[in-house]
Amino acid sequence: MSSPVCITNYLAKYLERNFNVVVYDWDTRETIVPQPGDILLGHPHPSPGTILRNSWRFPGWGRKILLCPFAHAMPEYIAFLEPFVSDCDCYCAICGQYWMETIDTTPFAHWKGKMKRIDMAVDRQVFPPVKKTFNPQGERRFLYIGKAGENKGTDYLDYLARLNSNIHFGWVGTVAKKPSAVKMHGYINLASSKGREILGMYDFLLTCGRSDANPTTILEGAAAGLIPVCTPQSGYVNEDWVINIPLNNAGAASAILQDLQVAQESRLLELQQNAKKRLESHFTWERFGEDVATAIQSPPAVDRGHPQWKTLAKRNRELLARFSAMTPCSQSAGRRWLSPQKWIKAVVKGFTHG
């Protein structure tokens, strides 16, 4: 299942305990007319004329709550949210701690007072452990799960694979052109027997995100028993079950990957157990539902989270207006995006090695 569908299904079931819940497809073009006291909760589509945009402007809502990912390193992806954040009662921002720790120096700093950070979740029954022992030292494997994309850092992933030719790198997902140094497995349902077989072949789940809010694949890989290895810009930092590698410093990142190749299995088993405890205690759909329900029922948030809020907000909104025109969307004209392969050629000179 894709993350939006998973979130919708699990969250709707939780909220149905205390609310009457009606679910709509986010890309439809209808308008919801509220009854007194109704609450609008959702993720704005970047395309004009879609259901949440149409319904948001309709008067009469009891509360309006945003629920969508937040990662600020590539402002053009989320700048279009500005009018929704300004007008919402609360922004439930799905993101790792990294993005909140670094927001104050970004064009989104004035959003902070409206935001409630929410971690993603995983259903461990859908992704049971498959990794009980690791491959021998020097023969360990790294797996990426997901689509190609600038924000996902898949160009950096391919670059690391080419620099570390002694290491096996794999990719579950689809891409227009096969990376030169990565084994492509294509699209596979990881909850299937074939998916579990593929997961069992690997030792580490590698994500090289540039602006990735809180990828679910890290939780799914960890639930299966793989050790997550990721950039801080993949959202996960300061966790005792995650290994962080630097973004755009391939030499330092490669040193960490090579070190993991020869790490004692006892160290990997320790990381695996740390992940199990953390997934059980925090990264659950029950906790996710509680977080959203609390936001729905809390007093409206204020967006003056910064001492010089008015000046800051005015300056930032001018910046975001420019970025908003660049929002990638298949149904609107705007910035022309490089293909993953052309992007690799365009930025590879920016990587440092050493």
pLDDT band per the 50, 70, 90 thresholds, residue 38: very high
Choose the weakest-confidence range: 156-170, 213-227, 290-304: 290-304
The residue with tokens 């809010």 is 213
pLDDT band per the 50, 70, 90 thresholds, residue 322: low
Which pair of structure tokens corresponds to residue 57?
A: 């402007």
The runs of H, that is alpha helices, within the chain are 3-15, 51-56, 82-87, 97-101, 154-163, 193-201, 216-224, 250-261, 265-281, 285-297, 309-324, 340-347
Q: Average pLDDT of 237-248?
A: 96
pLDDT band per the 50, 70, 90 thresholds, residue 309: low
Q: Average pLDDT of 334-342?
A: 31
pLDDT in the model for residue 341: 32
Q: Read out DSSP for 149-199?
A: -TTTTHHHHHHHHHH-TTSEEEEES--SS--TTSEEEES--TTSHHHHHHH
What are residue 242's DSSP bridge partners? none
CA–CA distance, 31 with 57 (Å, rounded to integer): 10
Choose the weakest-confidence range: 50-54, 188-192, 269-273: 188-192
pLDDT in the model for residue 302: 67
3-state secondary structure string, 199-254? HHHCCEEEECCCCCCCCHHHHHHHHHCCEEEECHHHCCCCCCCCEECCCCEHHHHH
Average pLDDT score, the chain? 86
Judge contact between 183 and 168, C-beta under 8 A. Answer: yes
Q: Average pLDDT of 171-194?
A: 88
pLDDT band per the 50, 70, 90 thresholds, residue 303: low
pLDDT band per the 50, 70, 90 thresholds, residue 300: confident
Task: Answer yes or no: is pLDDT of 308 > 80.
Answer: no
User: How would you classify the pairing of strands 63-69 and 39-42?
Assistant: parallel
pLDDT in the model for residue 344: 28
pTM: 0.85
